[in-house]
Amino acid sequence: MSSLFSWRRAATVLRKECLDAFRDRRTLLMLLLPPLLVGPLFLMLIFNLIATQSERAQTLTLAVQGSAHAPALIAFLERQQVTLKPLSDDYENQIRRGHIDIALIIPEDFPDDVAAGRAASVQLVYDRSRDRSQVIIAQVEHLLAAHGREWGRMRLLLRGIAPEVAAPLKIQATNLATPQQSGALLLSLVAFYALFATLTGGMAVALDAGAGERERQSLQPLLITPAQPFELVTGKWAAAAIVNTLVVALTLAGFYLTLRFAPLPAVGMPFLFGLAEVGRFSIALLPIALLLPALHFFVGIRGRSVREAQASTSVLLLLFALLPIAQMLLQQREPDWIAAVPVAGHYTLLTHALRGDALSNTDIVWAYLVPLALLLLVLIAAAQRLNREARL
Amino acid sequence: MIELTRLCKRFGKRGEICAVAEVSFCAPAGQITGLLGPNGAGKTTLLRMLSTLLVPDSGHARIAGFDIVADRQQVRRHIGVLSDARGLYPRLSAVENIAYFGSLYGLTNRALDERIALLLETLDMRALAHRKTEGFSQGERMKVAIARALIHDPPVILLDEPTNGLDVMSVRLLRGFLRALRDQGKCLIFSSHVMSEVATLCDTIMVLNHGHLIAQGTADDFRGKTAQTSLEDAFFALLEDDEQKRSAA
């Protein structure tokens, strides 16, 4: 450790690693194309799903059998703008195949029950496992219940009883979720995808610069030059971090451009991924984009070959990718200390950004402090590892 | 130019394996000094210590006046090493491979370009210069590796079994190049387990066995000492003799 850290030599290493990475066209293409394509494709699918759901909800079509038995109910449904159509005999098959969402069957004894003052029954047939039918099923159930209530009120009024007697509890619901927040729930997947790009973007370059260097037997000649291990590590990490940041930037650009310019179906939910969100995402993702290549590099040079390094880094990746999924599934209010946990804290920040919330300053400080401290430690450990490497 | 004084290196948890034992010799400038010994004699360990990759357990060595432990950084500037690890960057061209190392030695634009041009010329590799090294033959790789090791024009050159895996043509070219370097006044150390290899090229031969320096001299000295006419027999007789002494002790 006779001479001090030389920025010039670290920059030389960085320049060479970048040149090397950008020469590897095929790997680079595999790295840079998916963020630009997969993200938008994925968004299109989500939006189409939302669009078809709201479309179905707007024009409610109900297949009815025996409409002649309940003229009052039919009139009520027509007043509610429900399109009615006759039900064919093999309706069960049609529902299973998804041609019909829901069927209403009015039995023959319906008028007799009504006349006798008994509760008259109607039958609803649907397949609740079908996601896109959910909204329609709920709507039809809601409409029928409303008709039943109205009918009951009239009967009570005829008997001289105030309707409130039969309805002592009145529910008034206020939904505090803004449309943007409801959208954020679904699009937490966007956050996950962006985070995943940050975890993997620099992996190929970091592995090639570490384990690849040893596998090619070019590491030992490099260690005999005046370049210090810490300079080598810094240069190599910086190259991987640049590629990683590029992948993340392209991913965010893909989301932004799709939402801004692509002919997406008009959805009632104003989901925003504007420049403010891009900015907040960048702030939240940057520390991870810097830390991960260092981890990949460190884990990589501990392996004897690129293959072994890939195996160890995929364990690392799995661990990190599981964090947001666990958070998504737990659906609990997160403790405050999560802000200090790398990856988990950053995922939380991303979901805040998607909800349209401003990022809290303390959270940002934690989101930078911990990864940057770790980064320094990992770089030092990697340099020591290279130093030992020379002595083997 | 290179002075070794009782240099020692042991391996193993309790240091039970003695790789290099109290080796002392001097390799002057303007000469090719051969390190000859069977596999496992300690040649590579010795060269790794001189390359500053290994720290000796005891004893010391000076290269161009610098101690290999205390002045490691200075030593690195004064040595060029060609070991069996000759990996190149396959996506970079020959010149880019060489220039990368040149930059790490602190060479910049003009000086670097001139030095590369000279090496391309001497090693007769101008046709290869701008091709990516992926798919280079063994001989072509060797040329690039030599140019890379000598980019900073070091006064001391260490070669660890450089002819391994090379064809006759490449070996001849390498020999010619090394002789030219000697004539320029460089100090070269050349290790090999092949007697004839060392005999054709080296001015002085150091014979190593089990980490000990068991003989030194010219090829003719050995022939005289062991009363053998063939060099190979002379080498073999030396080793036999050492093994006998060793088992007696």
Q: Considering the domain boundaries, does residue B147 fall inside one?
A: no
Structure-block tokens of residue B204: 């002085």
For residue A319, the model assigns a pLDDT of 86
Q: Residue A283 pLDDT > 80, yes or no?
A: yes
| CA gap B163, B145 in Å, rounded | 12
More confident call, B109 vs A381 = A381
Closest alpha carbon within chain A to B152: A225
A311 or A132, higher pLDDT: A311
Stretch A96-124: mean pLDDT: 87
The residues, ordered by sequence, that sit 6+ positions from B74 with a Cβ below 8 Å of its Cβ are A2, B64, B66
CA B92 to CA B98: how far, in whole Å?
A: 10
Six token digits for residue A153: 């009120």
Residue in chain A lying closest to B97 (CA): A16
3-state secondary structure chain A: CCCCCCHHHHHHHHHHHHHHHHHCHHHHHHHHHHHHHHHHHHHHHHHHHHHHHHHHHHCCEEEEECHHHCHHHHHHHHHCCCEEEECCCCHHHHHHHCCCCEEEECCCCHHHHHHCCCCCCCEEEECCCCHHHHHHHHHHHHHHHHHHHHHHHHHHHHCCCCHHHCCCCCCCCCCCCCHHHHHHHHCHHHHHHHHHHHHHCCHHHHHHHHHHHHHCCCHHHHHHCCCCHHHHHHHHHHHHHHHHHHHHHHHHHHHHHHHHHCCCCCCCCCCCCCHHHHHHHHHHHHHHHHHHHHHHHHHHHHCCCHHHHHHHHHHHHHHHHHHHHHHHHHCCCCCHHHHHCCCHHHHHHHHHHHCCCCCCHHHHHHHHHHHHHHHHHHHHHHHHHHHHHHCC
Q: Which pLDDT does position A265 carry in this prediction?
A: 59
pLDDT at A270: 53
Q: What's the CA gap between A225 and A239, in Å, rounded? A: 20
Nearest CB to A226: which of B73, B86, B100?
B73
A85 phi, psi to nearest 5 deg: -145, 150
Indicate which CATH number applies to the domain containing B42: 3.40.50.300
Numbered residues of chain A with Cβ closer than 8 Å to any chain B Cβ:
2-3, 8-9, 12-13, 16, 19-20, 23-24, 213, 216-227, 390-391
Out of B51, B86, B89, the one facing A224 most closely (by C-beta) is B51
B58 CA: distance to closest CA in chain A (Å) = 16
CA dihedral B188, B192, B197, B199 (to 10 degrees): 70
The reported pLDDT for the residue numbered A391 is: 57
Are the C-beta atoms of residues A290 and A310 closer than 8 Å to each other?
A: no
Host H or E run for residue B209: strand B204-209
- The number of domains in chain B is 1
What is the structure's pLDDT at B218? 87
Point out the residue among B79, B87, B105 whose CB comes nearest to the CB of A218.
B87
* B103 touches A: beta carbon within 8 Å: yes
**Buried b / exposed e along A57-74 (16+ C-beta atoms within 10 A):** eeebebbbbbbebbeebb
Distances (CA, A) of B190 to A222, B40, B200, B233: 20, 16, 12, 21
More confident residue, B181 or A264: B181
Residue type, A161: I
d(CA B77, CA B75): 5
- By percentage, how much of chain B surpasses pLDDT 90? 60
Q: Which pLDDT score, from 0 to 100, does residue A54 have?
A: 64
- Find out whether B42 and B211 touch, Cβ atoms under 8 Å: yes
Of the listed ranges A28-42, A125-139, A253-267, the least confidently predicted one is: A253-267
Q: Which residues pair with B157 in a beta bridge?
A: B80, B188
Q: In the predicted model, is pLDDT for residue B230 greater than 80?
A: no
Please give the average per-residue pLDDT across B55-71, as a whole number. Answer: 94
Mean of the per-residue pLDDT values of chain B: 90
Q: Which amino acid is at A361?
A: N
- Say whether B145 and A23 touch across the interface (CB within 8 A): no
Does a structural domain hold residue B95? no
Give mean pLDDT, residues A32-45.
76
Highest mean pLDDT among A132-136, A273-277, B65-69, B227-231: B65-69
Please, are residues A11 and A238 in contact by the beta-carbon 8 Å criterion? no
* Ordered structural domains, chain A, with CATH: 7-51+180-390 (no CATH), 59-173 (3.40.1710)
**Res. A267 pLDDT band, cuts 50 70 90:** low
Best probe of the B interface among A16, A224, A231, by most B CBs < 10 A, is A224
pLDDT over 90 at A282, yes or no: yes
Instruction: Work out the average pLDDT over A148-171.
Output: 83
Asked if the structure places residue B114 within a domain, the reply is no
More reliable by pLDDT, A69 or A4: A69
β-partners of residue B17 are B11
Q: Would residue B179 count as lying in a domain?
A: yes
pLDDT of residue A2: 39
B212: domain range?
A: 2-86+155-248
pLDDT tens figures, B123-167: 888 999 999 999 999 889 989 999 999 999 999 999 998 888 788
- Whether B101 sits inside 8 A of A219 (CB atoms) is no
**Distant-in-sequence, close-in-space partners of A149: CB < 8 Å, separation ≥ 6:** A167
Residue B137 and residue B149 in contact, taking contact as beta carbons nearer than 8 Å: no
Q: Quick check: A221 and B145 CB within 8 A?
A: yes
Q: How many CB pairs under 8 A join A and B?
A: 79
Report chain A residues whose CB lies below 8 A from the CB of B133: none
Answer whether residue A294 shows pLDDT above 80.
Answer: yes
| A16, A23, A224 ranked by CB distance to B100: nearest | A16
- Residue A36 dihedral angles phi and psi, to the nearest 5°: -75, -25
Percent share of chain A, pLDDT over 90:
23
B122 belongs to a structural domain? no
Determine, for residues B88 and A2 on separate chains, whether the beta-carbon distance falls below 8 Å: no
User: Does the CB of B194 have a partner CB in chain A at under 8 Å?
Assistant: no
Burial of B184 (0-12, 13-18, 19+ CB in 10 A): exposed
* Comparison of pLDDT for A99 and A42, the residue scoring more: A99
Cα–Cα distance between A98 and A76 in angstroms, integer?
Answer: 26
Whether B87 contacts chain A with CB within 8 A: yes
> Which residues does chain B have within 8 Å of residue A3's beta carbon, measured at their own beta carbons?
73
Per-residue pLDDT band for B181 (boundaries 50, 70, 90) equals very high
Enter the pTM of the model.
Answer: 0.79
- Is pLDDT at A263 greater than 70 in this prediction? no
Q: Which of A2-6, A37-41, A105-109, A161-165 bottoms out in mean pLDDT, i.e. has the lowest?
A: A2-6
Task: Find, among B190, B191, B51, the residue nearest to A390 by Cα.
Answer: B51
Q: What is the pLDDT of residues A39-56, one digit of tens each?
A: 778 777 777 776 666 666
| Beta-carbon-side half-sphere exposure of residue B180 (alpha carbons within 13 Å) | 9
Q: What stretches of chain B show up as alpha helix (H) in DSSP?
A: 43-50, 72-78, 94-104, 109-122, 138-149, 168-183, 195-201, 219-226, 231-248
**Distance between CA atoms of residues A180 and A354, nearest Å:** 8
Residue B163, in any domain of the structure: yes
- Please report the pLDDT score of residue A182 as a whole number: 52
ipTM of the complex: 0.89
Single out the residue of B107, B56, B87 nearest to residue A208, CA to CA: B87
Token pair of A295 as six digits: 């981890």
How many C-beta atoms surround the C-beta of residue A100 within 10 A? Answer: 23
